[in-house]
Each structure stands twice: as structure tokens, then as C-alpha cells.
A and B are shown apart, each in its own frame.
Chain A
Amino acid sequence: EIVLTQSPGTLSLSPGERATLSCRASQSVSSSYLAWYQQKPGQAPRLLIYGASSRATGIPDRFSGSGSGTDFTLTISRLEPEDFAVYYCQQYGSSPPDTFGQGTKLEIK
């Protein structure tokens, strides 16, 4: 089973700043089958990025994903007030199980 470790656990930033979230895998994620989700309190997760770098439908271009192998990054170029939430990475490679990282909480400084 691939273990995903996200860092930092909590990130405190101000609106307008740039956010960089990290996701490291215990072994290589095949074909960059890595996704990022945003979750706000009381809501279901929302798909942001799939295939490590492709934005899902309707996701603003301030969200971008990068990386391959074992190291992946989600970048939010200029934080908007609605971006403060918890972010999860997930690998969905060729073999189950799918696994999620433990999450990074992005909070307002």
C-alpha cells in the first residue's frame, strides 16, 4: 500500500499570498495517478487536480499541480478568501487500494 505524507500539517497565510502544499509518496505513483481535493467544513471533498497536473472542470487557474514519481505539489498562486480549507492528496494507481494523505489545513493568518 502506498502511504502519502502531506506537509505541512497546517499552513497559515494571508489572502493574496502564494500557497505551496506538498505530498510525498512512499513509492512511485504510477503514471502520475495523483489527485488533489479541497474540503470545507460540512461539505464533501471537491476534485481540484487529477493526473498530477490537470485541472478538473470549473477549477480556477490559480490552482496548479506538479510533480511525478514520489513528490507532488499543489500551488495556489494568489489566495482568495474561499480557498481556506483542508486539502488532501490521493493516489489512484493501477492497483488498489486508493490512499489519501492525512490533509493540510490552510488557515487565514
Chain B
Amino acid sequence: QVQLVQSGAEVKKPGASVKVSCKASGYTFTSYGISWVRQAPGQGLEWMGWISAYNGNTNYAQKLQGRVTMTTDTSTSTAYMELRSLRSDDTAVYYCARDKGPKDYWGQGTLVTVSS
């Protein structure tokens, strides 16, 4: 069965960086993309960007350009999302999702808290 398992919760100080992992299983990793979506407390869903697990091509949300980097390791079927220069409004649950247009499988979410 398809599973996406994310790394655990993180607490970071403003200005720091965070790297969240998403390990895929149950399907051919390179046949799909991975999107990252975040959700601030009590708020809606925000698409952050997408990476092709086939060739590493990326598309990022304009508001995060320059602060976010998405990568994959095909040897371990793992996707990564790094967000730099963290601010308090980056506090959110971060989700990875298998992307074939619609996002049909999601990770369990990783809470990232940014606080001094």
C-alpha cells in the first residue's frame, strides 16, 4: 500500500532553517511528483511547491522563492523540503503529498514551530 511517512516535529528559532523528510513506499517513486503543502494553525491549505521525482525539476510558490528548496533521493525514495530564514508565520503543519495532478496520498504531517 502507498505510504508517505514524514519526519518528526521541529522547534526552530527565527532565522534558522528546517529540513523535513518524506519517505515513500508502496509505489514506483520516480513515476510521480511530490508536492509540499502547509497549514498554519486554524488556517487553510497553502501549496508550497512541487518536485518531479523522475528528474528533479521543481516549481515553487512565488512567495517562497529563494527560501525553499525541494530535493529527492531516489536511492531511498525520500523527498526533502528545506525552508530557510524561518519566521514566526512559518509555524505550520507541513505535508508532503504524492502528486499526479490531484494529490492522492498524503503524509501524516510535520509540525514546525518557529519561536524565540
A residues apposed to B, CB below 8 Å: 1, 33, 35, 37, 39, 44-47, 50-51, 56-57, 88, 90, 92, 96-103
Report if A92-B61 is in contact (Cβ < 8 Å); known contacts: A44-B108, A44-B109: no
B106 touches A44 (CB 8 A): yes
Q: In the assembled complex, which residues on chain B have CB atoms less than 8 Å from the CB atom of A39?
A: 45
**Are the C-beta atoms of B102 and A56 separated by less than 8 Å?**
yes
Residues of A within 8 A of B47 (CB): 90, 97-100
| Residues of B in contact with A (beta carbons under 8 Å apart) | 35, 37, 44-47, 49-50, 59, 61-62, 95, 97, 101-104, 106-109
Give the docked Cα–Cα distance between A39 and B108 (Å).
Answer: 12
- Give the distance to chain B from A39, nearest Cβ to Cβ, in Å: 8
Q: Is the CB of A50 within 8 A of B44?
A: no
Distance in angstroms between the alpha carbons of A88 and B47 in the assembled complex: 12
Q: A44-B95, A44-B109 are in contact. Are A100 and B45 (CB under 8 A)?
A: yes
Please give 20 more A-B residue pairs, beta carbons under 8 A apart, in addition to A50-B101, A90-B45, A97-B47: A35-B101, A37-B45, A39-B45, A44-B106, A44-B108, A45-B97, A46-B106, A47-B103, A50-B104, A56-B102, A57-B104, A88-B44, A90-B102, A96-B50, A96-B59, A98-B35, A98-B47, A100-B45, A100-B47, A102-B44
Interchain nearest-CB distance for A24 vs B (Å): 16
Cβ contacts A to B, 24 pairs, < 8 Å? A35-B102, A37-B45, A37-B103, A44-B106, A44-B107, A44-B108, A45-B37, A45-B95, A45-B97, A47-B103, A47-B104, A50-B104, A51-B102, A88-B44, A90-B45, A92-B101, A92-B102, A96-B50, A96-B61, A97-B47, A97-B59, A97-B61, A97-B62, A99-B47
- Give bound CA distance, A56 to B102, whole Å: 10
Give bound CA distance, A46 to B109, whole Å. 13
Q: Which of B49, B101, B106 makes the CB contact (< 8 A) with A45?
A: B106
